[in-house]
Amino acid sequence: MKTRRSWWPLIVLGTIGFLAGHVHAVPMAIDIGTSRVFNDRIGNSRFFAGANSDLLRVSAFVAPSDDSDWLGLSSNGATTKVTLTHQDTPDLARELDFFGVTSGRGGSINEFGTTFNLANPLVASQLAAWDATPFTLTASNLNVPTGTPTSVTYAAQDYRSDVLLPFLTDVSVTGGRLSPTISWVVPDTDAPITNARIQIRRIDAEEPGRILAATLVLSEAITLGTTSYTIPAQFDSSLSGVPPHPEGLESGSKYEFVVILESRDQVTGLHGRARTFFEFTPLSDGFADVAVFLPSVGPDGVFKFDVKVEAGETILIDPVVAIGYDYQIGEGDPLFASVTLPDVGDGLYELWLYSLALDDYFLQTDALAAGFEYFFAGSGVDRFRVLGIETSAGLDPGDGTAFVTALTFAGDGRFTGTMTPIVIEVASVPEPPVLALIALALLGFGVAKVDRRVGYPQESDRYQAYLADKAHR
């Protein structure tokens, strides 16, 4: 049974702020709430800081703070400091940053915090000691009321270094236009998963590698064991206007879909969290019954996949449209066996194959047409490039048409590769003078020729139009 989450905490917070703003604020004594010490795994993302990081996150909830000042409950919150120490790591001592609501950094009310990157060898060498003995937190404020302590020291929540939750795999969207179903696989894990929830954000502003602004349009707890979620055509009306957001998905808009897994216990709280981020655009009606696998998109702008594949099986992958793409398998993945491209713009494309002999250049090898399956020569290829997507087709925000690519593979395994959008014309890069000679040599050694592997009949009007267009470039 799904449980709808509402915005009532924000309403309550705003109401308290309004009422408290009319009360004369006075200094507040140090009030220790709770603490959190947990493994925070942040997936590939263009929006959240620390993408692709495994962090140890320490939070302390202490008043007074800037939040309690804003609410009118205190006047000394800005001078509160919280420090972190550990008896076995003398050089560890550090002051926590303020992450509270009024900081704009995404934290909870009265939250102070810091993180440690688990990939740092110095951090890794201390995990056993931090697991065995809790951190020490000290909250201090010199402006507290007379007769109350200016500092309070306490033990932080217990840390469990073994609770590392997995990221999702095989994430796909199945048609439905503005009410699609998102499905996923949760890999096997020894860490207990006790809570799960989803969030959807509409991407409002972006630049390459970064989402600049996004609106949270849906946040909902989901039942443990759930592996799919159908986005409602009509969002809960109780969310409307707090803050303002749409009533449902919108055609032509892009979204970030997040699945959050957590490991908690009732005694010591949160021990682990993993957030997996994916981006999608509502598909056209033609994909109503077809699963299209979604990429995660990180600061490098590369679309990354993690999908189970079988030899000869076709999968569809869906990134955001550009003027071209580089496709490449991950380490140990089966080779690409074939590709089928969608009908975007004029539906005519260029295929470029990779050449080690030419110092990592791609060579233009063939012409491709939308909807026809192209089989790579030999046992397959580990990478290829597609160009020829018109700029107008790729940049039209009202189009809502994604560049859904069908791939088959030469063996069983997982596709953990990438699809990198090309945002400048490759033709603008000077080609080496021997390019034409090497291209002829490759054709002589059996690299696919236009007249027998182009993917559409040589006598077709589209093929003749392509040749005429190419001759005048």
Tell me the per-residue pLDDT of 30-71, one tens digit each, with 9 for 90 and over: 999 999 999 999 999 988 888 999 999 999 999 999 999 999
Q: Is 425's pLDDT higher than 50?
A: no
Q: Is 12's pLDDT higher than 50?
A: no
What is this structure's pTM?
0.75
Predicted pLDDT at 177: 77
Q: Is 392's pLDDT higher than 90?
A: no
Cα 292 → chain centroid:
17
Q: Of 65 and 292, which is predicted with more confidence?
A: 65
**Closest listed residue to residue 217, CA positions, set 286, 282, 305:** 282
- Average pLDDT (352-362) is 74
Q: Of 333 and 319, which is predicted with more confidence?
A: 333
Predicted pLDDT at 6: 37
Q: Is 224's pLDDT higher than 80?
A: yes
59 Cβ contact partners less than 8 Å away, ≥ 6 residues apart:
35, 36, 37, 96, 99, 107, 108, 111, 112, 113
Query: What is the number of helices (H) and of strands (E) in the chain?
Result: 8, 30
What is d(CA 66, CA 79) in angstroms, rounded to the nearest whole number? 9
Distances (CA, A) of 141 to 28, 51, 83, 144, 364: 9, 34, 12, 6, 67
Q: How confident is the model at residue 343 (pLDDT cuts 50, 70, 90)?
A: confident
Q: Is 444's pLDDT higher than 90?
A: no
- Average pLDDT (278-291) is 76
Predicted pLDDT at 23: 52
Percentage of the chain modeled with pLDDT above 70? 77
The string of pLDDT tens digits covering residues 113-129 is: 999 999 999 999 999 99
Q: Is 259's pLDDT higher than 50?
A: yes
182 Cβ contact partners less than 8 Å away, ≥ 6 residues apart:
171, 172, 173, 198, 228, 229, 230, 231, 257, 278, 280, 294
The string of pLDDT tens digits covering residues 91-111 is: 889 999 999 989 878 788 999
Burial-class residue 379 by CB neighbours within 10 Å (0-12, 13-18, 19+): exposed
Q: Is 10's pLDDT higher than 50?
A: no
Predicted pLDDT at 244: 56
Q: How confident is the model at residue 336 (pLDDT cuts 50, 70, 90)?
A: very high
Distances (CA, A) of 62 to 13, 87, 94, 270, 271: 17, 22, 16, 18, 20
- The DSSP secondary-structure symbol of 358 reads G
Q: Give the other-Cβ count within 10 Å of 440's Cβ.
A: 9
Q: Is 283's pLDDT higher than 70?
A: yes
Predicted pLDDT at 240: 45
Residue ranges and CATH numbers for the domains of the chain are 3-44+56-155 (2.60.40), 162-301 (2.60.40.10), 305-473 (no CATH)
- Residue 403 has, within 13 A of its CA and on its CB side, a CA count of 31
Q: How confident is the model at residue 388 (pLDDT cuts 50, 70, 90)?
A: confident
Exposed e or buried b per residue across 441-471, where buried means at least 16 C-beta atoms within 10 angstroms of its C-beta: ebeeeebbebeebbbbeeeeeebeebeeeee
Q: Where are the alpha helices (DSSP H) in 301-418?
A: 391-395
Predicted pLDDT at 322: 67
Q: Is 346's pLDDT higher than 70?
A: yes
Q: How confident is the model at residue 25 (pLDDT cuts 50, 70, 90)?
A: confident
Q: Of 140 and 432, which is predicted with more confidence?
A: 140
Mean pLDDT taken over the chain: 80
Contact 372, 456 (CB under 8 A): yes
Q: Is 361's pLDDT higher than 60?
A: yes
